[in-house]
Amino acid sequence: MNKHKMITEKGVPSNSRVLMLFGQLEKLNRESMLVDPEIARQITAKILHLIQTQEKTRKEIVSKGSSGMEVILATLENTQDLQSILNILYILNELLTVGGGRRIGVFVSKGGTGILLQLVISASKESPPSEEVMLQLHSVLAKVGPKDRKFGVKARLNGALNVTVNLLKQNLQNYKLLLPCLLVLQVYSSNTVNAVSLGKNGVVELMFKIIGPYSKKNNSLLKVSLDTLGALLKSKTNAQRAVVHVPVLLYIYQDWHRNDTRHRHILIRKGILGCLKNITNIKLGRKAFIDADGMRILYNTSTECLPVRTLDPLINTSSLIMRKCFPKNRLPLPTIKSVFHHQLLRVPAEGPVAQLYNQPLGRGPIYQFYTKPPWVDDVVDESDNNEDAEAENDMENEVEEKDHHAGNDDIETDINKLRPKETHSRPFEELKIYERFFMELSEDFQVFNFDNPKKGVTATPAAPKSQRPIIVPTTQALPPKNPTAAPLQGECPHPAPVPALDLDTINITKDQDGCGDHTHSQPHPGAGLEQELVQGLERVALDGAGPQGGGGGVNKHNRQPPILAGGVAARLGGEGEEMLVEDWAEEEESSEEGVLHVPDTALLLPLHDPDLYVEMVKSTSSVPQFSEVAYPDYFGHVAPTSREHILERVYGVQRTKIFQDIERLIHPNDILDKVVYDLDIQSCPVVDGGESLKFNSQFESGNLRKAVQVRKFEYDLVLNSDINSNHYHQWFYFEVSGMRVGASYRFNIINCEKSNSQFNYGMQVLMYSVQEAISGRPRWVRTGTDICYYKNHFSRSSMAAGGQKGKSYYTMTFSMTFNHKDDVCYFAYHYPYTYSTLKMHLQKLEALRTPQTYLREDVLCETLGGNSCPLLTITAMPESTNNDQICQFRNRPLVFLSSRVHPGETNASWVMKGTLEFLMGSSPLAHSLREAYIFKIVPMLNPDGVVNGNHRCSLSGEDLNRQWQNPSPELHPTIYHTKSLLQYLAAIQRAPLVFCDYHGHSRKKNVFMYGCSLKETVWETNISATSCELHEDLGYRTLPKILSQMAPAFSMASCSFVVERSKEATARVVVWREIGVQRSYTMESTLCGCDQGKYKGLQIGTRELEEMGAQFCVALLRLKGLTSPLKLRNHAHLLDVESELMETRCKVSSTPSTYLLEDEEASFMEEVDYSAESGDEPNTADPHDNHLSDPESNNHRDSLT
């Protein structure tokens, strides 16, 4: 061979000895028919010696440009001499043992795999085959196989597969040859077709002849055998063959567990578990595991492993197997449909709601319109018994990571759909009726009284509502909390109810000996964010009349002690001493009235008034006809002054919770399984001597359907579906009383649907203590320990999973220790904000209006449930009736804001509250903002959903933020009329400068925006488009950029401006495309907290949310400066935005998932096994629950918003 072809590494002589030997070997290859084989033996032996003794020789052979590997392989392919073959195999073993994947890659690229496999066939034809050749061949193949993607196919096609199997069968006692054969077999089995073929050839049974109980010998062989068997059992066909061996595997595992006391053979024990894990992927395997008492065996062995941290891999795998084999249970419900039903006058033609109504009708007092007959079970599928259709994954977060990088197929690729519509879809004559909502555009103020401006602007009054009794919880005992609908059959006889007080007969006045007079000076609107809580309490007297009482008086025989719901003692008397129920009888004759202490929060909460709140509740319509008021909504919430940090996850907490769940099956006698609260059946009040907690959710925005006492201090909780729906379980708000001080209670919400949650990343639940409130601390606080979120063993029917079978629900669990005796506590998913609270706030805002503020409140429409949807107009009054002033007033640009289309995203309302308070404030910035814009605000797009405790839908059972393309005036009135307002503005050439819809996000941290960009959407796809087609003003990025510079909770990095197909019917996209608003946004606020900026590591609270709403206003003021005519002459700020956009584009090209709105959480110290299918939630199951939240995050296909 020519020496110039033998290029070697720098520093290695080109005339080295090995090059000379390779030259001789190449010459022999050309003259193989004429040369004595002894020469080839000598040359290959010399090369082997050099390779064994000189590292630089190895480097020469595989260096770039060297033909050494080709010469070796050519010699191996051509020679028939046994010793020469062995020498070359020794050479390859030496070369490929050191140097890692690069050397093997060179070998594979030169066709080495095929030559070795052909040599296997040739060697097998010898009689008998050379054991040493087979040994060396399989040793090299074991190194090469994992690096050659087509290794399994090549082996099957040339017949090497069967050669290895036969060799294995003939040498079961030859451990030296057995080991490399098993290693090669393991690589073969990674190919599914090969694994099935090997199973038919009896290899599965063969493996069980090799593995065995604890032994100190041949442990390496046993480890490889288990790994090979595990690879084979990934095939369901092979898993079926191994089902009969499940008891054997369990026995072997127990034996190794008992004898491996020093934990030196963890890999062997893990290999056994790996085999069990693959077998239990099939239904027969799970049954065999249960029948062999596998649950108890793995539970006991895992419990013994818990103290040793290095055994965590065994515990995690055991946990996975046990959870997989845990028998699937049905939710303890008669139906997954909501307890409450609202009959629709018009049923949608298609979709989930139509399916509900098209089910066969039955008879029932509550489900009088669509009750299922007894033979229809919608809770579980008939065939749902851990069907094999449900793929099992070791770690959900691993699956999410794969999906995260797989690309986003949801991105819109039709350029025509990415351009604004040229024509309006509705005739102007049809839209003229909405002119009355824009009086400010034609107002001339000629009859306006500038001396008393408040008389000049009037609101459209809401229709009067029918008054109904509202319970003030001052009865002696907590009444049973039951739905107002007719009871189902089988209910217990109900005792005579304790008379409740009617709010219409209650007079709430300040106590005469108490703190201060009846009037207060108006506080500064922003004082609630800056002042400390005043600890003095305002005492409120509750005067009521019983059934026999006269007007205003209290009948002594019917008067009830002023006990708060759940039995909290009220503070009585002028000196504020505490009086319990037992003392009431002694005082009854001498006491004329009871006094309940209510915290004086007027200075901190200028928009809250308990008296006014009660009046608002009276005019609120609900499907269950709620008749109670929750204490947090009555008392109000004052944000705590201390910071609430994101909870640090305790190592092993999820594993501990899962093991406690498994104990239910291991120790069934320890389970109480006692129903203590059930909206489906009006059961008798539980009389248990105080052994059980008492629950209630029958108040505005409440959601808890059922509570089951599992153990003494553990409760399973079931949430109610959205009305006219059979899913959307996420929002909860309920009351708990009857707790023991110091006891640790565990609460499990067992019918969650999303595959992941921020509860796994430091978010805590909210709790409100009535005892704390009456002590001067009325506030929601983040609480709960041992919080985690994981897949459970409750089956989710295909009706609730968008037609997919084999799905499971998820558990959100937390522990709580109560600090006060006889307390009443409320728990919520996020800070509650009811519809009645909004109405109260709007009335208080009207009272705070200054003469310079133009405020008008109209009723946009009435909802399906009979509640009014308010529309606010806020701007600055003109200084006079001068034509220039009036012209400036009318021509101010419009900003359109909306919020709370999803009832469970209460944080959106708190942000809106911050916006409204700032807009109505008296600061110079607020005044400048009002002078700059006309604000049109719909603060609550889904009042019915909020009132009735829904998470996602309105009473139509549909996600309103998926109805913007073609809303129905009968089914989606708030969306229909809101869109009509925008269409009217577009028709008169007054489209808003900014449209923003406030939302909440359940799976991401920080506050961020979604916008719409043709250019950025195209960049995320393979669309070919000209620069002319991609011409776009970058102004859509200006507002988010401003917010990122001034709002500490806002994250520009989390923003996305990509348009996705699943979001084409959302407000953001429709307003952008149909109304032509370039700055059309969804602003998402985290439900958890922040991981950047000033609030990094903190959970978000109402203070931060309201601050965000105020900062949004300030950002609009800065935007006004940037978009004014003078500023438009200087495009420097847009150049900055374009520069940043280009940088972002570079990042997108290297990380395609930049705009896939996945969680990017750091991994925990322990691997979190969700055992879930990420991203497999159908859009029909929860379109917003792109779910991870929310309005716009399409991560995992559970639509979140």
The answer to whether residues 167 and 135 touch, using CB atoms and an 8 Å cutoff, is no
The pair of three-digit structure tokens given for residue 921, joined into one six-digit string: 């404030």
Distances (CA, A) of 1159 to 395, 548, 1156: 15, 61, 9
User: How far is it between the farthest Cα atoms of the chain?
Assistant: 129
807-817 β-sheet, strand order: 674-678, 706-711, 714-718, 744-752, 807-817, 785-796
The answer to whether residues 1010 and 996 touch, using CB atoms and an 8 Å cutoff, is no
The answer to whether residues 420 and 1073 touch, using CB atoms and an 8 Å cutoff, is yes
The DSSP H or E segment spanning 286 is: helix 283-291
Task: Write out 1011-1063 in H/E/C secondary structure.
Answer: CCCHHHHHHCCCCCCCCCCCCCCHHHHHHHHHHHHHCCCECHHHCECCCEHHH
Strand, helix or coil for residue 362: coil
Backbone phi and psi for residue 758, each to the nearest 5 degrees, phi listed first: -70, -10
| CA 969/CA 1083 separation, integer angstroms | 26
Residue 688, C-beta contacts closer than 8 angstroms, at least 6 positions apart: none
The DSSP H or E segment spanning 124 is: helix 112-124
The answer to whether residues 1007 and 1083 touch, using CB atoms and an 8 Å cutoff, is yes
| CA 465/CA 867 separation, integer angstroms | 9
**Torsion angle of C-alpha atoms 1163, 1167, 1169, 1175, degrees rounded to 10:** 30
The answer to whether residues 952 and 1182 touch, using CB atoms and an 8 Å cutoff, is yes
Going by C-alpha positions, the residue among 243, 227, 246 that lies closest to residue 189 is 227
DSSP letters along 486-509, please?
A: PPPTTPPPPPPPPPPEEGGG-EEE
The DSSP H or E segment spanning 871 is: strand 868-876
**Torsion angle of C-alpha atoms 1106, 1109, 1110, 1114, degrees rounded to 10:** 160
The pair of three-digit structure tokens given for residue 867, joined into one six-digit string: 């509640």
Catalytic residue among 70, 1074, 1084, 1192: 1084
Residue 2, C-beta contacts closer than 8 angstroms, at least 6 positions apart: none
Count CB atoms within 10 A of the CB of residue 17: 13
Residue 614, C-beta contacts closer than 8 angstroms, at least 6 positions apart: 470, 472, 503, 506, 508, 629, 634
| CA 321/CA 714 separation, integer angstroms | 24
Count CB atoms within 10 A of the CB of residue 793: 22
| Cα end-to-end span (Å), the chain | 70
**1084 included as an active-site residue:** yes
Going by C-alpha positions, the residue among 848, 836, 788 that lies closest to residue 812 is 788
Helix axis angle, 312-325 to 283-291, nearest 10°: 110
Count CB atoms within 10 A of the CB of residue 719: 26
DSSP letters along 199-241, please?
A: HHTTHHHHHHHH--S--SS-HHHHHHHHHHHHHHTTSHHHHHH
Task: Write out 1096-1153 in H/E/C secondary structure.
Answer: ECEECCHHHHHHHHHHHHHHHHHHHHHHCCCHHHCCHHHHHHHHHHHHHHHHHHHCHH
Distances (CA, A) of 959 to 756, 954, 1046: 21, 7, 33
Helix axis angle, 131-144 to 160-170, nearest 10°: 120
Which residues form the catalytic set?
1084
